[in-house]
Amino acid sequence: MEFQKTPGWLDWYANPSKPHFKLPAGTVDAHCHVFGPGAQYPYAPERKYTPCDASREQLYALRDHLGIARNVVVQATCHGADNSAMVDALLNSNGRARGIATVRRDVTAAALQDLHAAGVRGVRFNFVKRLVDFTPRVELMEIANRIAPLGWHVVIYFEAVDLPELWDFFTALPTTVVVDHMGRPDVRKPVDGPEFELFMKFMRDHSNVWSKVTCPERLSVAGPPALNGERAPYRDVVPFARRLVETFPDRVIWGTDWPHPNLKDHMPDDGLLVDFVPHIAQTAESQKKLLVTNPMRLYWPEEK
Ligand code: 0GY
């Protein structure tokens, strides 16, 4: 099937630079996606955008280029609850990828078992209104209760202004909860202001909550430029991510978010995204936790 990309869609960066920062051995890219290809894995009728294709081969080529060892492929909303492109990526990774699925309340026990066998270890609940239609909380809680016995976790995606309203639901979830992109703070606000303090409290008071310190390119207002030739990208996002890494060193994970859906202003050089890491995790010990130990505990616990 032929798909027309959403007008203005930015394609992923074709020739990313080699990062200056050498990722530790065993680094996990804990947040990335595959899109289609649409001809093989059609985009969902209920999708809110139509992306460019971004295949598993292209994802794994980026993995090797950047010096990453493993991926966690997160089901993107453009595929709805049809997880086949993501599952295909897992099954063709030589065991080097695990996944996060989207499922509906009518998912069968057998389908959950199949997803588990393919390497899925969680489900994603999305509360970003431009990306998904509303699903009643009671349905989501039902799903959470069904996946909990599999040892899976729940990934939540929301914007910072919505955290107060979602608080009671999030804090009632029966599993480990992993937050996408630091709960999408508005980085024009102070890192110690009420909005980000609420997110800090969310993590401080709930030891089952983890955060992805991802998406500086999505959260940044200042943008990517490296000043004076330095590779110090997305400076305005650094204080937020660094605060999380330093306060919760054992509950943070990192990822590229390739192929970066829905960016409007620029498409990041993924090499530069790797060079963001030493600015937010400043010691070898914190880098190893962020990039290797923590994601391995979540996604490959049997290898501990
Ligand atoms: C991300 C961010 C976005 C999109 C999705 O599944 C998705 O469509 O996650 C976004 O538009 O902010 O994590 O990839």
Q: Given pLDDT bands bounded at 50, 70 and 90, which one contains residue 231?
A: low
Indicate which residue's Cα is closest to atom 11 of ligand 1. 262
Segment 147-183, tens digit of pLDDT: 999 999 999 999 999 999 999 999 999 999 999 999 9
Ligand 1 atom index nearest CA of 124 = 6
From 156, 157, 159, 179, the mutation candidate for ligand 1 (largest count of ligand atoms within 8 A of CB) is: 157
What is the pLDDT of the chain when averaged over all its residues? Answer: 96
Which pLDDT score, from 0 to 100, does residue 9 have? Answer: 97
Give the percent of the chain with pLDDT over 90: 94
Q: pLDDT per residue over 65-81, tens digit each?
A: 999 999 999 999 999 99
217 lines ligand 1 (CB under 6 A): no
Provide the token pair at 87: 């599952």
pLDDT, average across residues 212-216: 97
The 3-state secondary structure of the chain, one letter per residue: CCCCCCCCCCCCCCCCCCCCCCCCCCCEEEEECCECCCCCCCCCCCCCCCCCCECHHHHHHHHHHHCCCEEEEECCHHHCCCCHHHHHHHHCCCCCEEEEECCCCCCCHHHHHHHHHHCEEEEEEECCCCCCCCCCHHHHHHHHHHHHHHCCEEEEECCHHHHHHHHHHHHHCCCCEEEHHHHCCCCCCCCCCHHHHHHHHHHHHCCCEEEECCCHHHHCCCCCCCHHHCCCCCCCCHHHHHHHHHHCCCCEECCCCCCCCCCCCCCCCHHHHHHHHHHHCCCHHHHHHHHHHHHHHHHCHHHC
| Active site members | 257
Give yes or no for residue 232 having a pLDDT over 80: no
Tell which wins on pLDDT, 224 or 63. 63
- How far, in Å, from the CA of 260 to the mean position of ligand 1? 7
Q: Please write the tens of the pLDDT for every residue from 12-70.
A: 999 999 999 999 999 999 999 999 999 999 999 999 999 999 999 999 999 999 999 99
- pTM here? 0.97
Give yes or no for residue 233 having a pLDDT over 90: no
Q: Name which residue sits closest to atom 8 of ligand 1, judged by CA.
A: 77
Direct distance between the N- and C-terminal alpha carbons of the chain, in angstroms, rounded to an integer:
43
| CB of 131 sitting under 6 A from ligand 1 | yes
d(CA 119, CA 187) in angstroms, rounded, equals: 34
